[in-house]
A and B are shown apart, each in its own frame.
Chain A
Amino acid sequence: MTFKLAASPHTHSRRTTQQVMRWVYLALLPGVLLQTYFFGVGVYVQILLALATAWLAEAAVMRLRNRPIAHAWQDHTAIVTAVLLAIAIPALAPWWVIVIGTLFAIVVVKHVYGGVGQNLFNPAMAGYVLLLISFPVQLTSWPLPSELAQLPLTFGDTLHIIFTGFTQAGHNLEQLRMGVDGITMATPLDSLRQDLGQAMTLTESLTKPIFGSLGGIGWAWVNLGFLVGGLILIKQRIISWHIPGGMLLGLLIPAAIYWLFHPDQAIPPLMHALSGATMLGAFFIATDPVTAATSNKGRLIFGLLIGVLVFVIRTWGGYPDAVAFAVLLANMTVPVLDKYTQPTVYGHGGRS
């Protein structure tokens, strides 16, 4: 009888990276479909642009590094990065925005640090932050939800505005974003932030047409879409509940306490949960297996930290949404978290 000697690890994952990544982008579908329904087919155009850029950039970098190009294309991590970045930016942003963001995410954030599995920061979010800091106007110009839009937008118009900045009829993005009263509308979080900052009450602010019964029109549904996709990932054991659970708790508990003390001057918890990138961040961005903490305890702390940071930045910070900054800041703490939350090997530790 022979015993096979095998080096650790002795437990094997049932899935390859490609399969995991395929689940992730399939689970994004409900959210992406809803986002397209509310914000137009521009979302698809952005995704296609991001995918093309990501593939080309990855091929170029792998060639420079003398590695097989097919190897990088097969693990599908670039697809997830590209799609996440594309749905994080406004659907009608100019084409060069997504190209610059994806190039930075793939070349600098991913490959300069050593490629798949070696990067310190979440590539999609680092790319997003680069764009947000460099092009604040383009990155905050979200189109109106289709129910509120005054000017109809065809597919041709969408392409036209992404590549030239004007629709076929000659309207620019600023005109498209005007409501029925001729005032440019901000996103729900942006609008709340400005109003509360000007000492308006919550009730006053919520009378604006961009708010529906649940939260911002469109935004609440998009967030619910990502929530459904995230729950599928948890069910499929692609991600564990610790990071999304931690992040939502870390965001909602402080938000609820703050809201109870200032009921009419703070963003209510439900609005926090269903606005901006909360659900996308909790289930798809923070859970990136490379840049998140690895032990369950560490993951919980990591998630809580992101949640609290999102609350703090949304309430007192300079930007209306904060998921990208919070994720990057939490990424920096991962080495420390991993060091101090390393699970004890069976038979070691305990009371001496």
Chain B
Amino acid sequence: MSQSPSVYKELAWQGLWKNNAGLVQLLGLCPLLAVTASITNGLGLGLATLLVLVGSNITVSLIREYVPNEIRIPVFVMVIATFVTVIQLVMNAYLYTLYQALGIFIPLIVTNCLIIGRAEAYASKNPWHHSAFDGLMMGLGFTLVLVILGGIREILGNGTLFDGADLLLGEWAEALRIQLFSVDYPLLLAILPPGAFIVMGFIIAGKNWLDSYRAARAEQPQKQVTRARVTAQ
């Protein structure tokens, strides 16, 4: 357990940025692109996925010694389906309007490759507390992408931010709604599915640009050091 902090740090870095589920692994694109017409929808689905991911990761990790290798995938899927059903019923009970807005994409969390992917690649090989943290970070990274994508599309297509946040967060959240600008004819494309693909492409391009920019900056001082050493010898 002595190397735990670095394990957690690495898991956080992988989940939030380096191996981000939405931007790098491109997993779970179907809900990612379909429901992110607004921040609220994106956040709602992101949190639902996050909860399922943490739950399934912990469970899969706890039962990993007892599941025969040959039938592990069906077992994982059943575990995931259980958690999705729980989340679905909870949302149906407490967040009914949001539940209706997200529609089929809540039950479809079962088929999100991100969850089965983490169960198979990480949780089935690691202790439960690491798996839980991995699920949390992967889920947070995914939620972050959903929120950013939803935000950009909502601004472009509607001129608002946090429209309908009260559906997710309760009455007080109505105050969060920001009307950035108001036009007679919104850019419908941004809200329609093609807009999701285009905006997603730009977000991925932005991440890659940031990575290469950081890499280029990190290289600079190293070069100088080697040169100095050569002259010293």
Contact = CB atoms under 8 A, between A and B. Distances in A.
A120 interface: no
A270 interface: no
Interface in A87-117: 100, 108, 112
Contacts of A130: 189
A138 B186 CA distance: 12
Contact of A135 (B188, B192, B205): B188
A345 interface: no
B185 A133 contact: no
B189 A133 contact: yes
Contacts of B189: 130, 133-134
B198 interface: yes
A133 B198 contact: no
A112 B190 CA distance: 18
Interface string B125-163: 000000000000000000000000000000000000000
B117 interface: no
A108 B192 contact: no
Nearest to A108: B198
Contacts of B186: 134
Contacts of A112: 201, 205
A200 interface: no
B77 interface: no
A214 interface: no
A101 B132 CA distance: 47
Interface residues of A, number: 10
Contacts of A108: 198
A137 B185 contact: yes
B58 to A, nearest CB: 42
B198 A134 contact: no
A86 B61 CA distance: 60
Contacts of B107: none
A348 B67 CA distance: 58
Interface in A238-290: none
Interface in A115-143: 130, 133-138
Nearest to B192: A133
Interface string B53-91: 000000000000000000000000000000000000000
Contacts of B188: 133-136
B26 to A, nearest CB: 18
Nearest to B201: A112
B200 to A, nearest CB: 13
A162 to B, nearest CB: 15
Interface string A41-58: 000000000000000000
Nearest to A100: B187
B185 A135 contact: yes
B103 interface: no
Nearest to A132: B189
A137 B184 CA distance: 11
A138 B185 contact: yes
B192 to A, nearest CB: 6
A108 B194 CA distance: 13
Interface in A133-187: 133-138
A126 B188 CA distance: 15
A293 to B, nearest CB: 24
Contacts of B185: 134-135, 137-138
Nearest to B191: A134
Contacts of A135: 185, 188
9 closest A-B pairs by CB:
A134-B189, A134-B188, A134-B187, A133-B189, A135-B185, A130-B189, A133-B188, A133-B192, A108-B198
20 contacts: A100-B187, A108-B198, A112-B201, A112-B205, A130-B189, A133-B188, A133-B189, A133-B192, A133-B194, A134-B185, A134-B186, A134-B187, A134-B188, A134-B189, A134-B190, A135-B185, A135-B188, A136-B188, A137-B185, A138-B185
Given A112-B205, A133-B188, A135-B185, 15 more contacts: A108-B198, A112-B201, A130-B189, A133-B189, A133-B192, A133-B194, A134-B185, A134-B186, A134-B187, A134-B189, A134-B190, A135-B188, A136-B188, A137-B185, A138-B185
Interface of A: 100, 108, 112, 130, 133-138
